Structures are given as structure tokens and as C-alpha cells.
A and B are shown apart, each in its own frame.
Chain A
Amino acid sequence: MLSKNLFKSITAGAIVLGLGFSLAYAAADDQIKARQAEMKANGKAIGALVAIIKGEASYDAAVVKASLDAMATADAAAGEAKAWDASSMEGATVETWAKPEIWAEGSDIGAKYQAWVDARAALAATTDEAGFKAAFPALGAACQSCHESFRRPKG
């Protein structure tokens, strides 16, 4: 009787464990997809700002605000989805260009993330075209410095 219970426990344990594993797989893929969705949203948002910088579009405070809001939303959604947790590299099946260095000892991803947050805040505080143009490069540089260190070439 005891052994039968033990058998049941082990079976139940194995099922829970197996379920856990498959959940982990799904979780990592979802995390990566959330990360890529965030980057896509950020890319779209910054595109509108770059158009102003390059003179392809005229300065519009509403466009600047909408772009920064879109980035804030993307940032929050990625946080919600744990898109940047180290667990996203465990058992993923979708392709990712994120380099494992992000989560390595001594990684400065935290400082680089903060630079992006700060650059968004600085840009949000601008009220005219001159201020926008002066503050924009810090935002672009935040994207650049993270990609340079932590994104591997595609292909």
C-alpha cells in the first residue's frame, strides 16, 4: 500500500516536473518574443524622431510625446513579460540575436538600460525643437551602445 502510494507520488512528481519543463520552454520563447516586440516598437518610435532629426519631418511636440510614450509602454510590457530575465536563454526554441554577455558576470546592461531611461526622461522634458535636437543624440546613443555590446550580427 505504501509502495503504491509512493509510486503514485513519483508519477505525479514526474508529471509536474515534465509540465514544468515544457512550461519553461514555452516561457523562454515567450520572453524572447516579448523582447523582440519591444525592440520593434522602440524601432518604430525612434523612426519618427529620426525623421525630425534628419529634416524629413517637421518638429512636432505631439509626435515626440507619442514616440516616448510608445517606448515607455514597450518598456513596461517587456518588464511584465520578464523579457530580459536570464531564464529567457534556458531552452528557447526561437532564434534570438541577444548575446549571452547580457547576463554574464560584470555585464553593464543595467547601466546601459538606465542610460536609455534617463535619455527618454531628458527628451520628454524638452519643449521646443532646439531642445529636442540637443537631447536626441543621447537617446540614439543609448540604443547604439547596447546593440554594439549585446546584439550579435544577424544571419
Chain B
Amino acid sequence: MLGFTAFWLLSAPRPLPASAIPAHTANIANGEILYTTGGCRNCHKPKAEQAGLDPNLPSGGFPLKTPIGVLYPPNLTPDAQTGIGNWSDIDFVNAVQRGISKSGQHLIPAFPYTSYAAMPVEDVLDIRAYLMSLPPVASPRREAEIPVAFLLRRGLGLWKFVGLDTASWQPDTSQKPGWNRGSYLVNGPGHCGECHTPRNLIMARDNSRFMMGGPHPEGQGKVPSLHGLVETGRYKDQKDLVLALQNGEVFGYEHMSSGGMGQVQANMAKLPQADVEAIAEYLISLK
């Protein structure tokens, strides 16, 4: 009984209070860049068989197969009943940065709030403003198909002590602005480390092997290391990596399409030139 009480107390969701929301005038254009960098739509896209839904809107429902079961990422359009139309700023921030749903449950970290936690709240509010500017789509939520879902979700509260670092991203003042912009996009909204940093036994990212690659989360093959991209001859220089991120295998850059990277690359192609250059500048600095 004592054990259970301890479990219950320790695993409780710890949301941010409403006072965590700063005074902020939303910047929708910035929100769109961060939404694209995060590739939100890649998981929150509509399911293929739901005819008539715009595949470019994040109305959710496409099955996401994970090691613990099938998830159906929810509707991010501003529909009041089935989307985020009725969510407040703090509801949205707690979901994105603390992995806590509007109803107060832990969210499965297939949703990379573990990276988004590093973002300034203002940027998260800009993403919300961008989502709220999209046309609302009615697309009801579908429960995840995971065994012992109740206990697993609650248990995530314990996992978060190790798996969720709530420290904000900080610039490195010894580096140039481009490098810092790249570092932020890669480690915050871009959440590259969710796949490119291997995980430890309890499935938390192992930062002692930061961006060193590892087993593919879908089970087959490997995710490559992002260290030494130039030194190992994978790319000639920053310019070459920029072209690779913008054009992928259309320009014959090998392995830019496999294992889910194709969707990531397609998002990179939509980013402003300066942001892709910043991402490349940061990535090639990983020796």
C-alpha cells in the first residue's frame, strides 16, 4: 500500500501553472517555420482511408506504429470538438513541453515533448497561433492500442524524472549566431536527437552518445551518426549538406529517403535558406 501510494504521488503529472504563460504577441510566420522544422504533420497527418481530408493538414488519425503499440496522433486543427480549438495557451504548452494532455494524463513520448521542452514558451505559443490559423477539420480522436495503457501512462510520471529534461535550450556565446540558430532548430523543434541519439535501457536519450546514431526505432536497420559528416566524406562541406537537406535523393544524396528521413528532408526543403544553412553549420561542427 505504501509502495502504491509512493508510486501514485511520484508518478503524478506536474503541469506548468497558467502563470508560466508570458505576455506575448504571437508570430504566426515564426510558428509556421517551427511547425515545419518539427515535422508535426508527419505524425499528425490524416489517415489515408479518410477520404476528403486535406492530407496537408494535421487532422490526425494516421496510425503510428511504436514498440509499445499503435498510436493515433490527435487532431491539431482548431476544430472545437475534435481538435485543439478549445485548448488554452497553458493546455497547449503543457502538452508540447511537459507531455501532459488537456485532461491531465501523461502523453506517450513518441510525441517528442522531451525535445520541445527546450523551446522558449513564446515559440510554442507561435506554433499554437499557426495551428489556430489553419482551417478546422472534424476528425475524432482514436484511443491508442497499447497494453496496460492506464498503468503505462501513469508510470510515465516516473520515467519523466530521467527521460524529460525541462532545462531550456541555451545559446553558446562562443559560437556564431548561425551555429546557435542551427543548434536550437536541431535540438529543440527539429528533435533530431530523438532518433539520432541512441537510447539507454529505460529508453531515455543517452546524452553521453549525443547524435551518435543507433538502432532504428522501427526495428530494422540503423540511424546514422551525425558526427563527422564532412570528416567521414559523407558531405563535402556545409554547402553540400545544405543541398542534401534541400534536395535529398532528388540530387542523388544517398540514404536521405530511407527510414523516415524522406519526410524530414521534405520539411527541410520548405525552410528559409538561412535556417537550412544554420542547421548545416551546426551539424558539421559535430566532430
Q: Mark B231-272, 1 if CB is under 8 A from A, else 0.
A: 000000000000100011111101111110110000000000
Binds B, one of A3-11, A76-84, A127-135, A146-154: A146-154
Q: Cβ of B220 and Cβ of A148 under 8 Å apart?
A: no
Q: Cβ of B221 and Cβ of A152 under 8 Å apart?
A: yes
Expressed in whole angstroms, the minimum distance between the Cβ of B121 and any Cβ of chain A is 35
Measured in the bound complex, the distance between the Cα atoms of B249 and A43 in whole Å is 10
Judged by a CB distance under 8 angstroms, whether B102 is at the interface is: no
Measured in the bound complex, the distance between the Cα atoms of B253 and A47 in whole Å is 9
Q: Which residues of B contact A141 (CB under 8 A)?
A: 250
Q: Cβ of B249 and Cβ of A154 under 8 Å apart?
A: no
A147/B252 contact (C-beta < 8 A), A140-B247, A152-B221 known: no
Q: Which residues of A contact B259 (CB under 8 A)?
A: 152-153
Expressed in whole angstroms, the minimum distance between the Cβ of A118 and any Cβ of chain B is 16
Q: Which residues of B contact A41 (CB under 8 A)?
A: none
Q: Cβ of B252 and Cβ of A46 under 8 Å apart?
A: yes
Measured in the bound complex, the distance between the Cα atoms of B248 and A151 in whole Å is 14
Q: Quick one: which of B221, B243, B250, B252 contacts A153, CB cutoff 8 A?
A: B221
Q: Cβ of A155 and Cβ of B249 under 8 Å apart?
A: no
Q: Which residues of B contact A147 (CB under 8 A)?
A: 249, 257-258, 262
By DSSP majority rule, is chain A's interface helix, strand, loop, or mixed? helix
Q: Cβ of A148 and Cβ of B223 under 8 Å apart?
A: no
Q: Cβ of B221 and Cβ of A154 under 8 Å apart?
A: yes
Q: Quick one: which of A50, A148, A151, A152 contacts B252, CB cutoff 8 A?
A: A50
Expressed in whole angstroms, the minimum distance between the Cβ of B257 and any Cβ of chain A is 4
Judged by a CB distance under 8 angstroms, whether A115 is at the interface is: no
Q: Which residues of A contact B251 (CB under 8 A)?
A: 50, 53-54, 140
Judged by a CB distance under 8 angstroms, whether B222 is at the interface is: yes
Expressed in whole angstroms, the minimum distance between the Cβ of A112 and any Cβ of chain B is 12
Expressed in whole angstroms, the minimum distance between the Cβ of A22 and any Cβ of chain B is 28
Measured in the bound complex, the distance between the Cα atoms of B244 and A140 in whole Å is 12
Q: Which residues of A contact B255 (CB under 8 A)?
A: 153-154
Binding site for A on B (CB under 8 A): 216, 220-224, 243, 247-252, 254-259, 261-262
Give 11 A-B pairs besides A147-B262, A152-B221 with Cβ atoms closer than 8 angstroms. Answer: A43-B254, A50-B252, A54-B243, A144-B248, A144-B257, A151-B257, A153-B221, A153-B261, A154-B222, A154-B255, A155-B216
